[in-house]
Amino acid sequence: MSDNYTLRAKRFIKWRHLPDSMNPVLETTRYVMENSDHVKINMDRLHEFSDNFRASDSRHWLADAPFDLATLSVQEKLHFLFVFNSINFCYWGEPKWTLTYKNKKYDGAWGMVVAFGRAIEEGKSLLDSSYLATLSNEELSYLFRGNVPIPLFGERLDILREIGSTLNERFGGSFSSIINAASNDALLLLELIVKNFPSFADISYYKDQKIFFYKRAQLLVSDIYNLFEGRGFGELKNIEKLTAFADYKIPQVLRKAGILVYSEELAGKVDQMKLIPGGSPEEIEIRANTIWAVELIAKRLNGRNLHIEPIYVNDHLWLLGQNKSPDDLPYHRTRTIYY
């Protein structure tokens, strides 16, 4: 692949100087972006997309959620976000896991939100750490009931038990204790989540370099900030230093827009829906370039005096990906607990 894309991106990224508290995700994925063999960023398409971005496109993804979290107490909202993000990953399969709620079908992350909401309405103690610590196979199967078993069921069960036990043993059963320990700092909260709950430690190795992604942990911090509108538990400094949340949908949308360009070999694998192993160079490059494409879009918007943080660019792209159309390109297939 031509290095012209990478050279132009390098010239464009010297904009976000964070000497005091750098997000390790941004710091380490830059190395991947600058040394990628299979994925490049097309700056012309990125500029075109950015120049058509409107301020009204910036909204948080939970604003469109099919279950109204406003019905929950403050503590219940925190636990909902924590439990949801702990197992919000890997929904693809044939057929895709789907459930019906109020006569409408949902899949993916919306399906998980609905599964949680349905369980709460049925009186399940899903937001209680003690309940999670002893959650049975049968109880979780009932919670996820749909057309087919949800992928990675065993991994989800293990994670829910882990977070329930850890909350009880270290934090008095309350996720708010972790937020309080973070001293209203988004990056410190991110660090505490990753250190105390191993399933959030989304780390890879690329050309002997350690690369941090922290997709679900960053999304959790962003969700807290946005659900509480930057007040109370959501009053978090350094929120602007969160990056995009590298998953399946964001690179799919960026590729459709012509912003991410795959090598012929990688494009063939993705389009033929071949499995791309987690931790492989191709998978790491897709995720790292996704993060930096969103960074560069945010920079371009900043130049237009639209001060929109990368997390909101991410949410806009994710919501675009929910509008399925016949000309959609496939997303890459990776079996993983990290996204």
Q: Give the residue among 195, 217, 200, 224 at the shortest CA–CA distance from 78.
A: 224
How far apart are the C-alpha atoms of 114 and 97, rounded to whole Å? 13
- Region of 235 (left: φ > 0; alpha: ψ -120 to 50; beta: rest) is beta
**List 107, 202, 247, 315, catalytic entry:** 247
In total, the chain counts a number of residues equal to 339
Q: Give the residue among 141, 160, 327, 339 at the shortest CA–CA distance from 247.
A: 339
Torsion angle, alpha carbons of 333, 152, 69, 77, to 10: -120
Q: What separation in angstroms does the CA of 308 have from each of 124, 152, 179, 295?
A: 38, 35, 25, 10
Q: In this structure, which amino acid lies at residue 150?
A: I
Q: Pairing relation of β-strands 260-262 and 104-107?
A: unpaired
Q: In this structure, which amino acid lies at residue 186?
A: A
Which alpha helices (DSSP H) does the chain contain, by range?
4-12, 24-34, 43-51, 74-86, 108-121, 129-133, 137-143, 153-171, 176-181, 186-196, 215-227, 249-256, 264-271, 281-303, 310-321
DSSP 243: -
How far apart are the C-alpha atoms of 268 and 266, rounded to whole Å? 5
Active site residue 247: yes
Peptide bond into 66 cis (omega under 30): no
Catalytic residues: 247
